[in-house]
Amino acid sequence: MPTSSATKYEIIESNLNRYFCIILLILGTFGNTCNICIFIRPKLRPIPCSWYFLASTCA
């Protein structure tokens, strides 16, 4: 019984790692793209703090 339970948890862990990483990658890319679009607006360009945020987004 413990081996079947362990394999069940390994399968669940494998599926979570596979799909959660893909979702996290997509959402992170979308969020960084939104940050870049916001921080390069002409209204925010003269503000030095926005340049630091833009640099940290790109890094």
pLDDT above 90 (res 26) = yes
How many distinct structural domains can be found in the chain?
A: 1
Task: Return mean pLDDT, the chain.
Answer: 89
Quote the percentage of the chain above a pLDDT of 90. 51
Parent domain of 24: 2-58
The predicted model scores a pTM of 0.68
N- to C-terminal Cα distance for the chain? Answer: 48
SS (H, E, C) the chain: CHHHHHHHHHHHHHHHHHHHHHHHHHHHHHHHHHHHHHHCCCCCCCCHHHHHHHHHHHC
Distance CA 17, CA 6 (A): 16
